[in-house]
Amino acid sequence: MKPYIQFEQLSFARGRNLIFDRIDLAIPQGKITAIMGPSGTGKTTLLRLIGGQIKPQSGRVMVDGLDMTRASSKALLAMRRRLGMLFQNGALFTDLTAAENVAFPLREHTRLPESMIERIVALKLQAVGLLADANQMPAALSGGMARRVALARALALDPALMLYDEPFTGQDPINVGVLLRLIASLNQALGLTSVLVSHDVTEVFAIADLVFVINEGRVVASGSPDELRAQMPHVPFLRQFLEGAPDDDQSIAGQQSAKIFATALGLVAPSEPACMSKAQSQSGAL
Amino acid sequence: MMNTQRSIEIVVGAFVLAGIMALLVLTFKWSDFGTSSVSGYTVTAQFDNIGGLSDRSPIKLSGVTIGRVEHIQIDPKTFEAVVTMVIASQYNNLPKDSFASIYTAGLLGAQYIEISPGGDTQVLKNGDKITMTQSAVVLEKIISKFLFNKAAGQ
Amino acid sequence: MYEQSPIAKRCTVNRWVCALANGLAALGQGFLSAAAHMGQMGFFTGQLLWRLLPAWTRPRLIIQEIYAIGVLSLVIILISGGFVGLVLGLQGYNILSKFNATESLGVMVALSLVRELGPVVTALLFAGRAGSAVTAEIALMKTTEQLSAMEMMAVDPIRRVIAPRFWGAVIAMPLLAGLFSLVGIAGGYFIGVVVLGVDSASYWGQIQQQMQPVDDVMNGVIKSLVFGGVIGLVAVFEGFNAEPTSLGISRATTRTVVLSSLLVLGLDFILTAWMFGA
């Protein structure tokens, strides 16, 4: 199947920090694809690259045939109208009610009459089971409810592509179950292409069709959940990540954190010269 | 939702209007203040120099304000200034030969007309003219006069 | 173990060199970050300018901001204007009575307010009341990813969120300054005429006679427009570029008040020199 989203030799660095190192990904249409990896591997960055919010240093991101890294701002905006993104904390507009939040994209991008907008909003809130809370302010909603309202908002314009940023983090088991069912059923019912980034292994393996595991800026494993389980014995990192095994001495992350800890205690010399590090620590004061 | 939006619009409209009114009042509307209180009879006086006297300068009698300058014109024949003043009606017993002089309040203050009552039994009436006047004292003239006298005296 | 740490050792050996180097590095970093801040601000200003006129396609958003920024600042502005007027009336009376020139109280109060205190004090209060609120609001929207979400919904946050707030500040400032001056003149009238017995008609008459619509009132309006623009720009910039943490929000808010107050006072001097002659 022709990939819907394609990363080609993409490198992205934040400051001196290389986050993606010549990465290649192909995300198929109409499927749920999960990007997994430990915290700090730039999973959210990856979603922002897909949305064209940030530009890579080199390489390309193709979304439905459009090169998001070189697209004109007009083409970029047109593409964004076709995608919905669920932010980690929902990112609801705090001064609008739940219903007004869902209505926001409709009011911005369509000229629909008020009655029509109300009906669509009711429909979307119904889909996430929150019609009764339409007039609540976001502050009055629980975290899980806020995320579902945000999901309704992301779906308001019937997107072709849904991006989920850590949808399960910090949710109670009931909410996780609800979200899992929502994501899976939306994907089936609407024929969406879904990309979700997460580090919650069980949840992801329950719904994903395809999983990429990223570590240290590279794809270390990919395949269906079953294929990954089969690969597990051969890839040390995969075993550690999927099984939640404690850091062993082989793990680079483990070595790093031990070194930082030791440096902080004054046991080991820092690698930078003294003058430099002192001056750098002062720069924060400005 | 619509209602709060509407009331916000109304309040903002009122605010903008009030602000613009404030600026306009600061710019133009001063003449409406302070004049309405003066009603009385009008007299005129001619001066060859009024100095800094202006509309609404006070008319004083022994330091008490009894009226206002209404307007100032130039007599087309004599080229002197004709000051029209309104004096409050309760001061209707000023002698006809009263003396009008232009003084300055303090060193830097505004200028005003001081009325010194004469001894006539006839009183000033509406439309009368005060004939005896003393013009504004121009500081430069005094200084030059003083210097001239000194020089002449030596 | 601690004193054998190489950091301490190095600095005792080359103590002065190290101190000098640290000082220079701090200076250099300060300069560079200030320059970077300026550069960011210039870039941001360009982006904002580009969207100022398109923002008027949604006048309701601007009206909303005039309400949040202007109307909600009214109480503090009017009360302050009244007190400033009272103080000016008292001080002015005491000074002018020495020269036997209390008739000029009105013009002294009015000119001080219209030329200087109206625009400047209003701007300083405005920066504290409205500028900081705008910065905090935008910074919080950034921190909670609301701006990012907007962008992902193909809505331009600068046009939708930033530009209306800037317009709100520019429009509200001259109106607030005008009301401040008017209330201040009334306060001066109360102290001077009602309490201290200055002649009422002289109070107004001197103002009318000496105050020039163009030179004084227009210049005051120009000043307050400039101040409104500066405060609006600083407030939205600091909010938009705030570090997305709670400390970042508080820093951005402080910076808005400090930077816009300094800019207002500095610009006031430049504008005064330009308008009334150096």
Same domain, residue pair A11 and A115:
yes
CB pairs under 8 A between B and C: 117
Q: Convert the pLDDT of each residue in A5-21 to its tens digit.
A: 988 888 888 878 888 88
Same domain, residue pair B51 and B107:
yes
Q: Is residue C174 part of a domain?
A: yes
Same domain, residue pair A260 and A137:
no
Q: C252 lies in which domain range? A: 59-276
Q: What is the total count of domains within chain A?
A: 2
- The distance of Cα A166 from the centroid of its chain, to the nearest Å, equals 6
**ipTM exceeding cut-off 0.85 for this assembly:** no
| Interface mutation target, options B27, B57, B85, chain C, most CBs of C under 10 Å | B27
Q: Is residue B129 part of a domain?
A: yes
Q: Is residue B44 part of a domain?
A: yes
Least CB-CB distance to C21: which of A83, A267, A275? A275
Q: B131 lies in which domain range? A: 40-142
Q: What is the total count of domains within chain B?
A: 2
| Interface mutation target, options B10, B12, B55, chain C, most CBs of C under 10 Å | B12
Q: Is residue C30 part of a domain?
A: no
Interchain CB distance below 8 Å, A89 and C144: yes
Same domain, residue pair B64 and B136:
yes
Please tell me the predicted confidence (pLDDT) of residue C126: 95
B141 or A66, greater pLDDT: A66
Q: What is the largest CA-CA distance in chain C?
A: 85
Q: Which residues of A touch C146 (CB under 8 A)?
A: 91-94
Please tell me the predicted confidence (pLDDT) of residue C234: 95
Please tell me the predicted confidence (pLDDT) of residue A247: 52
Give every residue of chain A whose pLDDT is below 50, as ranges. 249, 272-286
What are the DSSP calls for chain C, one per residue?
Answer: -GGG-HHHHHHHHTHHHHHHHHHHHHHHHHHHHHHHHHHHHHHHHHHHHHHHTGGGG-HHHHHHHIIIIIGGGHHHHHHHHHHHHHHHHHHHHHHHHHTT-GGGHHHHHHHIIIIIIHHHHHHHHHIIIIIHHHHHHHHHHHHTTHHHHHHHTT--HIIIIIHHHHHHHHHHHHHHHHHHHHHHHHHHHIIIIIIT---HHHHHHHHHHH--IIIIIIHHHHHHHHHHHHHHHHHHHHHHT--SSHHHHHHHHHHHHHHHHHHHHHHHHHHHHHHH--
Average pLDDT over every residue of B75-86:
88
Helices (H), ranges, chain A: 43-50, 73-80, 98-109, 114-127, 143-154, 173-190, 201-207, 225-231, 236-243, 252-264, 274-282
- The tokens for C218 are 């227009």
The phi-psi region of residue C103 (left if phi > 0; otherwise alpha if psi is between -120 and 50; otherwise beta) is: alpha
Q: Convert the pLDDT of each residue in B33-64 to its tens digit.
A: 444 455 788 899 988 888 878 777 888 888 88
Q: Which residues of A touch C144 (CB under 8 A)?
A: 89, 91, 94
Same domain, residue pair B46 and B78:
yes
Same domain, residue pair B79 and B27:
no
Average pLDDT over every residue of B82-86:
89
For chain A, how far is it from start to end, CA to CA, in angstroms?
53
Q: Is residue C95 part of a domain?
A: yes
Order of strands across the sheet with A83-86? A83-86, A161-165, A193-198, A32-36, A210-215, A218-223
Same domain, residue pair B26 and B50:
no
Interchain CB distance below 8 Å, C29 and A279: yes
Q: Is B52 on the interface with C (CB under 8 A)?
A: no
Q: Is residue B150 part of a domain?
A: no
| Interface mutation target, options B8, B26, B50, chain C, most CBs of C under 10 Å | B26
What are the DSSP calls for A71-127, one per residue?
Answer: --HHHHHHHHTTEEEE-TT----TTS-HHHHHHHHHHHH----HHHHHHHHHHHHHH
Q: Is residue C149 part of a domain?
A: yes
Q: Is A272 on the interface with C (CB under 8 A)?
A: no
**Chain A touching partners, 3 or more CB pairs below 8 A:** C
Which residue of C lies nearest to A105 if distances are taken between CA atoms?
A: C153
Same domain, residue pair B27 and B46:
no
Cα dihedral value B2, B6, B7, B8, nearest 10: 100
Chain C contact residues (CB < 8 Å to A) = 1-2, 5-7, 10-11, 18, 21-22, 25-26, 29-30, 33-34, 140-141, 144-146, 148-149, 151-155, 160
Q: Is residue B154 part of a domain?
A: no
- Give CA–CA dist B31/C4, Å, rounded: 84
Smallest CA–CA distance, residue A6 to chain C, in Å, is: 19
Q: Is residue C234 part of a domain?
A: yes
Q: What is the total count of domains within chain C?
A: 1
Same domain, residue pair B53 and B17:
no
Q: Is residue B152 part of a domain?
A: no
Q: A107 lies in which domain range? A: 3-248
Report the length, in residues, of chain A.
Answer: 286
Q: Output the pTM of the full model.
A: 0.77
> Token pair 């095994």 is at which residue?
A245
Query: What CATH number does the domain containing A91 carry?
Result: 3.40.50.300
> Token pair 């910090």 is at which residue?
A170
pLDDT tens, position by position, for chain C (278 residues)?
444 444 444 555 577 888 888 888 888 888 888 888 889 889 999 989 998 998 898 898 999 999 999 999 999 999 999 999 999 999 999 998 887 788 888 889 999 999 899 999 999 999 999 999 999 999 999 999 899 999 889 899 999 999 999 999 999 999 999 999 999 999 999 999 999 988 887 788 778 777 777 778 888 999 999 999 999 999 999 999 999 899 999 999 999 999 999 999 999 999 999 887 75
Interchain CB distance below 8 Å, C144 and A283: no
Same domain, residue pair B21 and B96:
no
Please tell me the predicted confidence (pLDDT) of residue A278: 43
| β B40-47/B81-88 pair status | antiparallel
Q: Is residue C156 part of a domain?
A: yes
Q: Is residue B79 part of a domain?
A: yes
Same domain, residue pair A133 and A152:
yes
Which residue of A lies nearest to C152 if distances are taken between CA atoms?
A: A80
